[in-house]
């Protein structure tokens, strides 16, 4: 059985040093917003090459608090995409604003920058591009529309830790960048955690107040906040994991290259790789394929677990019917949802497994001819 994702091997290999990090927190007797969080904020800031970082409770909260710090609230519109994890939209709604969806480019599956301008209204306040599966969105074009209409840009980099665009880390290009450290992400905690990063100290100052009841100093509230603090155990494990991030990303890239080579010549569209402008990372390996559901079943029967990210565009979810999107409003997004399939990809997956999965895909199309 090849699981879609497994931590077993990592935990086996690193159990001792991971437990040492946790023990350090117990010894300190300090569990929320302490030295581990501060150390992680510094380390992540150095890693990304951006001055200001705030650790928060999740990627969802990172997006919500970043938008709030940039002044987004009830009555505003935020332009984003519908082929994303639900939390992108939850976060926008948590500010009181309304999401407005634009379609994506079929090749990159990221926001079609040519459509952004057509979605701008009097109420538009911000744009949230998603670096989906680790592939950077068209930031140059998105930033120029934002500049023209004086909109804020909050990058959803929750799937793109370490990806670069035009030589800069994604998350550091817009007004703020948001990361999730949900366990399955390229850098994951052992629970929920997230971070907001920004070149603007004011934005991160506001996020740091917002995450802690709105306190600018103990018992002094200038803004209405929430509780979205990063805890010390998660921060200690992130301090442990950050030094491995490049190595893990490289290993994912190596396995992705093997998939790319071994899936050639099949009725399968292979995901885009890095180019002169973009240094992508591989969060997910998502193919576009003929007879997707049959292929998924075929792999399942041969003990290969796959997934679909995401089977229903947010615009078409029951919970978001109130936004009023109709079938065929987002034709590329809707078509993609029928064709995409995520194959297993994580640093501990073996090359042998990738070869077996690719051979099984080949075998499936062989039986279909």
Among 58, 234, 239, 249, binds ligand PLP (CB under 6 A): 58
Q: Which residue's CB is nearer to ligand PLP, number 182 or number 298?
A: 182
Beta bridge partners of 195: 55, 179
Q: Count the site residues for ligand PLP by CB under 6 A.
A: 15
Question: What's the closest the beta carbon of residue 160 comes to ligand PLP, in angstroms?
Answer: 9
* 88 interacts with ligand PLP by CB under 6 A: yes
Among 80, 83, 84, 234, binds ligand PLP (CB under 6 A): 84
Contact of 186 with 162, CB cutoff 8 Å: yes
* 162 interacts with ligand PLP by CB under 6 A: no
Among 85, 236, 263, 357, binds ligand PLP (CB under 6 A): 85
**Cβ neighbours, 10 Å, residue 19:** 12
Which region, judged by CB under 6 A, interacts with ligand PLP, from 69-77, 81-89, 102-110, 146-154? Answer: 81-89
Q: Which residue from 207, 201, 147 is spatially nearest to 179, judged by alpha carbons?
A: 207
Which region, judged by CB under 6 A, interacts with ligand PLP, from 106-114, 156-164, 243-251, 255-263? Answer: 156-164
Beta bridge partners of 194: 56, 180
* 156 interacts with ligand PLP by CB under 6 A: yes
Which region, judged by CB under 6 A, interacts with ligand PLP, from 56-64, 138-146, 249-257, 356-364? Answer: 56-64
DSSP state of 131: -
Which region, judged by CB under 6 A, interacts with ligand PLP, from 8-16, 79-87, 93-101, 349-357? Answer: 79-87
* 228 interacts with ligand PLP by CB under 6 A: no
Beta bridge partners of 322: none
Among 158, 189, 209, 238, binds ligand PLP (CB under 6 A): 158
Beta bridge partners of 126: 78, 152
Q: Which residue is nearest to ligand PLP (CB)?
A: 59
Q: Give the C-alpha separation, 341 to 344, whole Å.
A: 10
The radius of gyration of the chain from alpha carbons, rounded to an integer in Å, stands at 21
* 17: three-class secondary structure by DSSP: helix
Q: Give the C-alpha separation, 241 to 179, whole Å.
A: 15
Contact of 80 with 100, CB cutoff 8 Å: yes
Q: Which residue's CB is nearer to ligand PLP, number 295 or number 343?
A: 343
Q: Which residue's CB is nearer to ligand PLP, number 155 or number 365?
A: 155
Question: What's the closest the beta carbon of residue 177 comes to ligand PLP, in angstroms?
Answer: 12
Among 72, 82, 130, 209, binds ligand PLP (CB under 6 A): 130
Beta bridge partners of 53: 197
Whose tokens are 């306040």? That residue is: 125
Question: What's the closest the beta carbon of residue 292 comes to ligand PLP, in angstroms?
Answer: 21
Which helix (DSSP H) or strand (DSSP E) does residue 145 occupy? helix 139-149
Site for ligand PLP, residues 175 to 214, rule: CB under 6 A: 180, 182, 192, 194
* 343: three-class secondary structure by DSSP: strand
Site for ligand PLP, residues 59 to 78, rule: CB under 6 A: 59-60
213-246 exposure pattern, b = at least 16 Cβ within 10 A, e = fewer: eebeeeeeeeeebbebbbbbbbbbbbbbbbeebe
Which region, judged by CB under 6 A, interacts with ligand PLP, from 151-159, 260-268, 287-295, 359-367? Answer: 151-159
Q: Give the C-alpha separation, 149 to 158, whole Å.
A: 26
Q: How many helices (H) and strands (E) does the chain have?
A: 12, 15
User: What contacts 24+ positions apart, CB below 8 Å, involve 269-272?
Assistant: 269/339, 271/133, 271/135, 272/107, 272/108, 272/135
Question: What's the closest the beta carbon of residue 366 comes to ligand PLP, in angstroms?
Answer: 34
* 344 interacts with ligand PLP by CB under 6 A: no
- Interacting residues toward ligand PLP by CB under 6 A: 58-60, 84-85, 87-88, 130, 156, 158-159, 180, 182, 192, 194
């Amino acid at each position: 059985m090849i699981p879609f994702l497994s931590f077993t091997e990592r935990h086996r290999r690193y159990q001792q040093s991971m437990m040492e990090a946790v023990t350090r927190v117990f010894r300190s007797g300090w569990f929320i917003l302490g030295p581990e969080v501060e150390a992680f904020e510094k380390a992540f800031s150095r890693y990304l090459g951006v001055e200001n970082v705030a650790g928060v409770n999740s990627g969802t909260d990172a997006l919500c608090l970043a938008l709030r710090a940039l002044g987004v609230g009830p009555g505003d519109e935020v332009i984003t995409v519908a082929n994303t994890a639900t939390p992108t939209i939850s976060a926008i709604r948590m500010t009181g604003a309304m999401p407005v969806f634009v379609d994506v480019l079929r090749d990159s599956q990221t926001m079609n920058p040519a459509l952004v301008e057509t979605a701008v209204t009097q109420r538009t306040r911000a744009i949230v591009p998603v670096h989906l599966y680790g592939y950077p969105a068209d930031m140059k074009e998105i930033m120029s529309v934002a500049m023209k209409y004086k909109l804020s840009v909050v990058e959803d980099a929750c799937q793109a830790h370490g990806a670069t665009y035009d030589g800069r880390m994604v998350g550091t290009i817009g007004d703020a960048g948001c990361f999730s450290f949900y366990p399955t992400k390229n850098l994951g905690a052992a629970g929920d955690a997230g971070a907001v990063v920004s070149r603007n100290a004011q934005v991160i100052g506001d996020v740091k107040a917002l995450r802690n009841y709105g306190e600018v100093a103990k018992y002094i509230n200038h803004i209405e906040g929430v509780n979205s603090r990063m805890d010390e155990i998660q921060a200690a494990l992130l301090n442990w994991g950050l030094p491995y991030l490049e190595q893990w990303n490289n290993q994912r890239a190596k396995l992705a290259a093997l998939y790319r080579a071994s899936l050639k010549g099949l009725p399968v569209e292979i995901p885009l790789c890095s180019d002169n402008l973009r240094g992508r990372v591989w969060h997910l390996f998502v193919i576009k394929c003929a007879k997707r559901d049959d292929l998924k079943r075929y792999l399942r029967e041969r003990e290969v677990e796959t997934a679909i990210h995401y089977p229903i565009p947010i615009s078409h979810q029951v919970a978001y019917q109130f936004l009023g999107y109709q079938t065929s409003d987002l034709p590329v997004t809707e078509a993609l949802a029928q064709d995409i399939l995520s194959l297993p990809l994580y640093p501990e997956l073996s090359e042998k497994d990738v070869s077996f999965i690719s051979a099984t895909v080949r075998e499936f199309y062989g039986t279909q001819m």
